[in-house]
Amino acid sequence: MRLVLLGPPGAGKGTQAQRLVARHGIVQLSTGDMLRAAVAAGTPVGLKAKDLMARGELVPDEVVVAIIADRIDQPDAKKGFILDGFPRTVAQAQALEQLLARKKLKLDAVIELVVDDNILVSRIEKRVAEMRARGEPVRADDNPESLKKRLSAYHAQTAPLADHYRKKGLLKSIDGMAPIDACTAAIARHLTVPAARKAPVRKAPRGGTRGSVKARSGGRKTGAPKARTRKPVTRKTKRKAAAAKKRPAGRKLPRNTAQKRRSGRARRLTKRR
Ligand code: ADP
């Protein structure tokens, strides 16, 4: 399975990616983590990315595309992967498509976690406070100014990807403000909908489908109900059926005719008097 996780900083991409790793046995490829590792190791890529990242700006497309191209060729990515933080621009998405097409591979789905900006800010502030309390190092870009930049970079450069993937029929949008487990469940539902359930639901034939499934399917316990060969319902047959329903057994004339006759005789009697 090959997935893309789309969402602003603090949307919960990392958390959901870890759960997808555990569930599907595929690898998480986070460009943010790879770039931070490059910065920490002081590689040429790290040197290019360091200041841009600290300011909350995007690293050039060609740099991240080259990292991803290398990474998806590794043996552990053969079974599938979750891209977390990549692609982040339409140009990166196109580069990814070309990369996969050359390998005769395709994306299975793009999961978008939708979260309001005000919630993102408080989530990141909480994350920073918790990391400080545990004595852990805080990311260079987890400060109010860089966060503002990361959010505006997301809206300007990454959010248009939702439309890009919607047009391709790959986008699954999830409410990222729901509790973590509910998000996980929503993602799982999107990824496991069988083809049969995706087909448009056909209305039951007019006249109802009362009776047990067994009766409807002609005594068969499993499989689709047998095709029904009913007479077509016309206005005439409907009228007949309605009249038969109203008429009690044994009564010869329809009630309204008898009533008419009685009321005619009553009229004549009144006239005579
Ligand atoms: P976030 O929490 O903002 O989603 P990430 O860990 O995914 O953070 O990325 C951190 C930073 O790394 C980004 O702000 C950006 O500078 C850089 N980065 C990560 N992925 C990409 C990418 N696909 N394209 C450009 N820059 C990237």
Among 150, 152, 158, say which to mutate for ligand 1: greatest number of ligand atoms within 8 Å of CB: 150
- Nearest to 121, CA basis, from 152, 158, 167: 152
pLDDT of residue 259: 54
Q: Is 88 in the pocket of ligand 1 (CB under 6 A)?
A: yes
Residue 97 in any domain: the answer is: yes
Residue 129 in any domain: the answer is: yes
Residue 58 in any domain: the answer is: no
| Whole-model pTM over 0.85 | no
pLDDT of residue 210: 44
pLDDT of residue 233: 72
What is the average per-residue pLDDT within 112-119? 94
Number of domains the chain is built from: 1
Q: Measure the CA–CA gap between 26 and 77, rounded to whole angstroms.
A: 7
Residue 115 pLDDT greater than 60, yes or no = yes
pLDDT of residue 216: 40
Q: Measure the CA–CA gap between 106 and 67, rounded to whole angstroms.
A: 19
Provide the pLDDT confidence category of residue 87 given band limits of 50, 70 and 90.
very high
Q: Which residue has its alpha carbon closest to ligand 1 atom 15?
A: 58
Q: Measure the CA–CA gap between 1 and 185, rounded to whole angstroms.
A: 17
pLDDT of residue 255: 53
pLDDT of residue 234: 77
Domain that holds residue 174: 2-26+79-191
Residue 123 pLDDT greater than 60, yes or no = yes
Q: Measure the CA–CA gap between 54 and 50, rounded to whole angstroms.
A: 6
Residue 200 in any domain: the answer is: no
pLDDT of residue 237: 73
Residue 163 in any domain: the answer is: yes
Q: Measure the CA–CA gap between 263 and 108, rounded to whole angstroms.
A: 76
Q: Which residue has the higher pLDDT, 92 or 209?
A: 92
Q: Measure the CA–CA gap between 168 and 189, rounded to whole angstroms.
A: 20
CATH number at residue 177: 3.40.50.300
Centroid of ligand 1 to alpha carbon of 92 (angstroms): 13
Residues 6 or more apart whose CB falls under 8 angstroms from that of 196 comprise none
Residue 146 in any domain: the answer is: yes
Residue 228 pLDDT greater than 70, yes or no = no
Asked which of 82-86, 158-162, 232-236 is least confident by mean pLDDT, the reply is 232-236
How far is CA 53 from its chain centroid? Answer: 31
Among 48, 58, 90, 115, say which to mutate for ligand 1: greatest number of ligand atoms within 8 Å of CB: 58
Q: Is 86 in the pocket of ligand 1 (CB under 6 A)?
A: yes
Centroid of ligand 1 to alpha carbon of 49 (angstroms): 10
Q: Is 31 in the pocket of ligand 1 (CB under 6 A)?
A: yes
pLDDT digit string, tens, across residues 156-198: 999 999 999 999 999 999 999 999 999 999 999 999 865 445 5
pLDDT of residue 45: 94
Among 13, 88, 96, 112, say which to mutate for ligand 1: greatest number of ligand atoms within 8 Å of CB: 88
Q: First and final CA of the chain: distance in angstroms?
A: 95
Centroid of ligand 1 to alpha carbon of 269 (angstroms): 99
Residue 113 in any domain: the answer is: yes
Q: Which residue has its alpha carbon closest to ligand 1 atom 18?
A: 32
Residue 147 in any domain: the answer is: yes
pLDDT of residue 219: 39
